[in-house]
Every structure is written in C-alpha cells, then in structure tokens.
Amino acid sequence: MPPDYCFPFRGESITVLNAAISHNAADARAYYYLGNLLYDMQPEEAIRLWEQSRKIDDSFATVHRNLGWAYYRTQKDAPKAIASYEKAVACDAKDPRLYIELDGLYETGNVSPERRLALLEKNHETVAKRNDSFLREIMVLVLVGRYDQAIDFLANNQFHVREGGGEIHDVYVDAHLLRGVRYLMNGKPEEALADFHAASEYPENLSVGRPQTDSRAPQVAYHVATACEALGDASKAKEFYTKSAGQRGGRSEVRFYQGLSYLKLGQKSRADEIFDELIETGKQRLSEKATEDFFAKFGEGQTPQARQASAHYMLALGYRGKGQADQAKAELEAAVKLNVSHLWARAQLAELE
C-alpha cells in the first residue's frame, strides 16, 4: 500500500522496522515508519529518522511534511518548517491538506499575504477540493482586499462545516463589511447598505446556524447605521446606532463599535467608558507573560507575537474612539508589524492613512 495508508502504531513494529533497516539501509520507508512510531515519545530521534528517509528519497512528500511539522512543533523553527513544507508541496502539488498546513505556517511566520495568495491561487484547483483549504484561499483574498472574488466564492459554493467550525461565517462577515466600507468611502452608500445588511445573514450554503447571541451584531448594526446616515435617513440611522449600542455579548474589539454608536447617540460618557476599557485591556494584555504556543495555527491557540498584535489593536481602538488619531495609528502600525495578517488592524490603518 502507499505510505499514506500504512501507519504502524504497535510497539512490536519497532523491532521489525529496525530489522528492516539493518537488512536494507537504503529503504526510505522503513526510516519513515519508524519515525512515525517514535515521534510522540522520542521526537528528536523521529526527526533524525525522517531526515535519513529524506536523504534516501528526496521525492517523498509525506516525509517533508512530517519534518515541517516537527521542525516547528518540536524545534520551534518556523523558517525551517516552511522550507520543508514548500518542498512537500513541490513533490506533491495535488494534496490540498499540505496547503492548509503551509498557509497556517505562513500566517504564523508573518509571511506577506501576497506571497500566501500566490501559492494558493497557483494551485486553486487542488485547494478548492477541500472546504478547509478553500477557506484559507478566501481568507487571504479578503486580506488583500479582493472582496468581490471572495464573496463570489462564498456565495457560489457549498461548504460543509465541522461542529464548532463557524470561522467561515466570520470570513463572510468580514468580506461584506469591508466591501461595504469601501463602497461608502467611494460615495456609494446604497451598495454599502446592501453589503452591511448581507453581513447580518447566515446563508444556508455556509452550513453555519444563527447563534442565540451574534457576537458580530453590534459591529454590523453600526455599519448599517453609517450607510443610513450617508443616505440621509436619520431615523433609520438612529435605530441601528441604538441597536448596536444596546446589544450584549459582543467580543472585546466589537465593543469599539458600540462606543462609536454611543457617541452618535450623544452619550459620550458611556462611549468613553468603553474606550477606556479597551485601552486598559490592551495594556494588560501587553504586560501579560503569555504561554508560548508555537504550533498555534495547527490548534486553537495564538503565538505570543499574534497576542501582542491583538493587544496593540485593542489599544488602537480605544485611542481612536477617544479621537487620539496619532496614538491609534502608532498602535495599528505596531499590530500590523507583529502580525501582517491582522485583517482589521490593516483595515483601520488604511482608513487612518
């Protein structure tokens, strides 16, 4: 069977594989299988065995992939891991799983969105075969401002989301909100309003149900209000500013939009409470000594660098809400430097500039 279908898991196999290596030291697969068996308990020995397998057969994509995983997870060496994954892709460009993991490494390693997109677009046919790899391509399209294409992909494909995997709806909301903001800045409030209303929907093809509490709702309502205001509909604008300000359960960064809504409603003291809270949260997060999670994009955590970027972003929102544009811009620049893929820090910085 191909190596993808042959994954030894029994301790007894160690003796067999050692014997196989003794009998034929040029058998790349024996080193590979033995590395698979040992990785959990003896990762450095597994790496040594996989490197020997690679030395014998440099065209073996899976061993390059395993080494990329281990270089990052065990040795915490992102550039080395990326190089190994790129070699895996060069050996087997038809495996969409490789693009998911490599793009996650690119993001964690602060690789430019343009470089990320170039790889995904070049291999679009393969990437689009799996929802999770396809979603990464869509995410990067949003990141570089190609909202029309991202929205087209989201609208015209069926996605099957695993339980708890609602990330695709956030990407959908981001694409519509950011395209709407662009329309608004270009003097097209009607088109902006259509996008802002779309951001509040839960299309069936995304396979994500509407939750009891929509954490993005205050942000969406605020943007709807801005478009209504631009269209001269003061009554509707006030309705949606009130809706944004009054909702509960939003994320920390979404509170920024509630603060802006309070300002629009003439409740500056309540707005300042939110902005001061965001500044305090940002400062606290910067001072925390976070536990390092070097394999964040392959799990649920964040790297220390990404956490710092989020803290600077929180500070920027607080300063921007209080009208301190220079401080806000400095914090946004720090956030984007630490995490070039921080979508909303990039968007806010572009607005200020």
Q: Can you tell me which residue has the tokens 């065990």?
A: 74
Q: Are residues 88 and 4 in the same domain?
A: yes
Name the domain boundary from 76, 92, 108. 92
CATH code at 50? 1.25.40.10
- Average pLDDT on 283-298 reads 65
Q: Are residues 87 and 12 in the same domain?
A: yes
Residue closest to 158 by CA, chosen among 90, 206, 190, 191: 206
Name the domain boundary from 105, 122, 144. 144
Range of the domain at 337: 276-353
The answer to whether position 318 is within a domain reads yes
pLDDT tier at 102, thresholds 50, 70, 90: very high
Residue closest to 173 by CA, chosen among 226, 221, 122: 221
Angle between helices 131-143 and 96-108 (to 10 degrees): 40
Q: Answer whether residue 191 shows pLDDT above 50.
A: yes
Q: Are residues 88 and 100 in the same domain?
A: no
Helices (H), 231-303: 234-246, 255-264, 268-287
Residue closest to 110 by CA, chosen among 71, 78, 62: 78
CATH code at 309? 1.25.40
Q: Are residues 306 and 351 in the same domain?
A: yes
* Residue pLDDT, tens place only, 293-352: 444 444 445 789 999 999 999 999 999 999 999 999 999 999 999 999 999 999 999 999
Q: Are residues 105 and 81 in the same domain?
A: no
Name the domain boundary from 144, 178, 210. 144
Tell me the whole-structure pTM to 2 decimals.
Answer: 0.91
The answer to whether position 30 is within a domain reads yes
Number of domain units in the chain: 3
Q: Are residues 80 and 106 in the same domain?
A: no
* Residue pLDDT, tens place only, 34-56: 998 889 899 999 999 999 999 99
Q: Are residues 102 and 61 in the same domain?
A: no
The answer to whether position 258 is within a domain reads no
* Residue pLDDT, tens place only, 115-135: 999 999 999 999 999 999 999
Q: Are residues 32 and 70 in the same domain?
A: yes
The answer to whether position 219 is within a domain reads no
The answer to whether position 172 is within a domain reads no
Q: Are residues 84 and 119 in the same domain?
A: no
Q: Answer whether residue 292 shows pLDDT above 70.
A: no
CA count, 13 A, side-chain hemisphere, 281:
22
The answer to whether position 38 is within a domain reads yes
Q: Are residues 56 and 112 in the same domain?
A: no
Q: Are residues 289 and 342 in the same domain?
A: yes
Q: Are residues 102 and 131 in the same domain?
A: yes
* Residue pLDDT, tens place only, 59-97: 999 999 999 999 999 999 999 999 999 999 999 999 999
As a 3-state breakdown, the chain gives helix, strand, coil percent values, each rounded to 5, of: 70, 0, 30
Angle between helices 325-338 and 343-352 (to 10 degrees): 140
The answer to whether position 159 is within a domain reads no
The answer to whether position 129 is within a domain reads yes
Residues near 275 by Cβ (< 8 Å), separated by ≥ 6?
256, 259, 317, 318, 319, 321, 322
Q: How far apart are the first and last CA of the chain?
A: 57
Please check whether residue 263 is in contact with residue 241, taking contact to mean a CB–CB distance below 8 angstroms: no
